[in-house]
Amino acid sequence: MVETYKSTSNPMMNRPVVKAELVEWMRSSQTQVTGELAEVLNFAKENNIPVIPHETVLYFQMLLSLLKPKRILEIGTAIGFSALVMAQEVPEAEIVTIDRNPEMIELAKKNLTKYDHRNQIQLKEGDAADVLQELKGPFDLVFMDSAKSKYVEFLPKSLELLSENGLILMDDVFQAGEILLPIMEVKRNQRALERGLRKLFDEVFDNPKYMTSVLPLGDGLLMIKKHKNC
């Protein structure tokens, strides 16, 4: 067990906006994760480490099978579960993933060494704002699952790195419904996060430069795509 993570670091996985009964139905009735991915997932559950939930895993698998991306960028590696999900679904893809948390990096390295059999996944250590400046595109898919307050800051460079028909996915944008609250009703230590998300929404919603869609998967998944004429 990794006692470090038995804390409040994973509240959103247990605070779905969608009815709890429907979440349970989605997670129990659809095909379950098996094999090596199940080993990584079980470790995350046992140690209360946040990873993408089951319904998002299945969505990713279908989306990737349709998009067939050649290069994927992930911001927020955690223990490497989502990167391994993507690697399994698109075995020909190159995946670059970024994280700055030393403890997570150590766990991710162990998992990638053990399970990334085709050496598809390249782990970049450091602050994403710095690492993004060093990367060269294009990437066909960018997945953000890191500090939510920073999504809007990562967006411009991510768009620069995105291929012509590329897609950006941002996880956990609902914040268990707190995005609907007046900012002063949000807990003080969460306000910077909420302000960052609301700034992001102001930037991309109803903006002719982007196509957007919000999916009620997990704690909310925001999809962003550049309009072809912009």
Q: Which residues are annotated as a binding site for S-adenosyl-L-methionine?
A: 52, 82, 99, 127-128, 145
Indicate the DSSP class of residue 91. T
Q: Which long-range contacts does 57-61 make (Cβ < 8 Å, 24+ apart)?
A: 57/33, 57/85, 58/30, 58/31, 59/215, 59/217, 59/221, 60/85, 60/86, 60/89, 61/85, 61/89
Alpha carbon distance 125, 68 (integer Å): 26
Alpha carbon distance 197, 144 (integer Å): 13
Contact present, 74 and 82 (Cβ < 8 Å): yes
Side by side, which strands form the sheet with 221-226?
121-125, 94-99, 71-75, 139-144, 162-171, 221-226, 210-215
Detail the residues annotated as belonging to a binding site: 52, 82, 99, 127-128, 145
Alpha carbon distance 65, 90 (integer Å): 7
How far are the Cα atoms of 20, 65, 104, 150, 151 from residue 13, in angstroms, in the given order? 11, 25, 18, 20, 19
